Amino acid sequence: MAGEPPTQGVDEIVRACAGAHPGYELVGYGEVGLPFFEVRIDAEILDRKPIDPFAEFVLRAVSSGVDEVAGMERLLGLDSKVLETTLVSLVTSDHLRNAPDYDSVSITELGEEALETASQIQAKTRQLRVAFDPLLKSVIEPFGEFLQPAELADAGIKEVGVPVGLVPELRHIDVADVERVVRQIGRGREQERDVLALRSMRRFRVFRPALAIAFRADETTDVVVDLAFAGRVSDRHSRALAELGLQDKLGAKSAGRDRMRDRRFGLRRAKEQPDDGAVKVIPPYELRDQLEAAIEQARELLIITSPGVQGTVLDEPMVAKLEACLKRGVSVHIGWGHSEGPRQASDPEAVKVLDRLASASPNLNVRQLSRRIDNLLICDSRYSVASDFSWLSHLGDATRSLGDERGLMVSDSAYVDYLSDKMITSLTTRQR
């Protein structure tokens, strides 16, 4: 997927950030598209002259016959200290020559050449390309890795919308900021140009892939979302996201705590109640590893139910693991999708992969669900894991929210067998 780091790399980043906020627990993560603007500005540019403006004024005065200090002060209106500093600099650089009595100066051949060159340099209009970060409200260097809005949707990356008030207008952009960025990215002559004025601009909305990591407070419903680029958290962007209230747009709300509580309560009400010691919470960044482990370790039964299927999860290595599992004779049941509640998008090509596997393997049952059931992972009689984590589409689904995706693992075999029987009935019986 464009802009997405490898899944294992993502999990490593998230795992490293797990303890970033004392008193908060990491509950979810996912890739998001942060809004940026590619800005093309028509600007008035002046090549930097070989001498500064004060030196040019003085040389012109001397060239026109005003060669005494007092006369220069009257003509140019310069402060005496500024004029004295400029004269010393010009004499030192051999642009001016002192008269024998030091009461006047004369222009040298080098000074005449510098003056002629300065006269030939004229301002001209050029188009400059920079980027604008609306979260930080600043002009930045253009970056190579960005996605167009349509590409963001095709990649299944959740969009973070930009408030109307943060859309850049020409009046919001400072000349000095543009000049600073142009010099940072420029080479050769770009370093020797001054930006005099910004005349007009065009902007194009683009997105930069980032990793959003959600934390929830232990004793309250407070939520914190960190944003990471290229494996490193950007504190400035994280703070801006919170200050603008944009973390709610990611679905990072307190509802996840209630879902975890309800899931625990559901275990207590179940017909076959698991022992308390057989229940533990698994952080979301370990669930991908848990899925791979279940596929590799299953010897009799594997059940996976997921609201969607994406090629970012069902990639070649994962398909190879599933094929090896089926060749061991494991009975595999996969249920995906549902029509109740928010429906998660699925990758048609990934669905075809499942259908192909099912056609070739009589011990694989693939069922598209017509109603919502829990996201479950069951491995033999050893354990079950229930979670809001979408086992087969965790990355690559733009409808996902950063809810509480921690998993609840039960390793009580009696309860796991009870749950397996229930799920197999759901996945093999015609649904209404």
Contact 264, 231 (CB under 8 A): no
The DSSP element (H or E) to which 93 belongs, if any, is: none
| 38 and 79 both lie in a single domain | no
Boundary residue ending a domain (73, 92, 120): 120
Give domain status of residue 185, yes or no: yes
Boundary residue ending a domain (250, 285, 317): 250
3-state secondary structure of 143: coil
What pLDDT digit, counting tens, does each position of 309-345 carry? 988 889 999 999 999 999 999 999 999 986 444 445 6
What pLDDT digit, counting tens, does each position of 197-255 carry? 888 999 999 999 899 999 988 767 788 999 998 888 999 999 999 888 888 777 766 54
| 235 and 269 both lie in a single domain | no
Q: How far apart are CA 298 and CA 325, in angstroms?
A: 7
What pLDDT digit, counting tens, does each position of 379-411 carry? 999 999 999 888 998 877 777 777 888 999 999
CATH number at residue 377: 3.30.870.10
What pLDDT digit, counting tens, does each position of 335-354 carry? 998 644 444 568 889 999 99
What are the strands, taking DSSP E only, across 56-111? 96-98, 105-107
| 137 and 165 both lie in a single domain | yes
| 180 and 242 both lie in a single domain | yes
Boundary residue ending a domain (250, 285, 310): 250
> What is the span of the domain harbouring residue 361?
255-428
| 115 and 239 both lie in a single domain | no
Q: How far apart are CA 341 and CA 244, in angstroms?
A: 28
Gyration radius of the chain's alpha carbons: 33
The DSSP element (H or E) to which 44 belongs, if any, is: strand 24-47
Question: What's the pLDDT score for residue 327?
Answer: 96
Question: What is the phi/psi pair of residue 351, to 5°?
Answer: -65, -40
Exposure class string for 370-395: b at 16+ Cβ within 10 A, else e: eeebebbbbbbbbbbbbbbbbbbbbb
| 282 and 415 both lie in a single domain | yes
| 283 and 384 both lie in a single domain | yes
Domain count, the chain: 3
| 168 and 180 both lie in a single domain | yes
| 22 and 165 both lie in a single domain | yes
Contact 203, 224 (CB under 8 A): no
Does residue 67 surpass a pLDDT of 80?
Answer: yes
Q: Which residues pair with 367 in a beta bridge?
A: 335
Q: How far apart are CA 284 and CA 3, in angstroms?
A: 21
Give domain status of residue 1, yes or no: no
Give domain status of residue 392, yes or no: yes
Q: How far apart are CA 256 and CA 247, in angstroms?
A: 14
Give domain status of residue 335, yes or no: yes
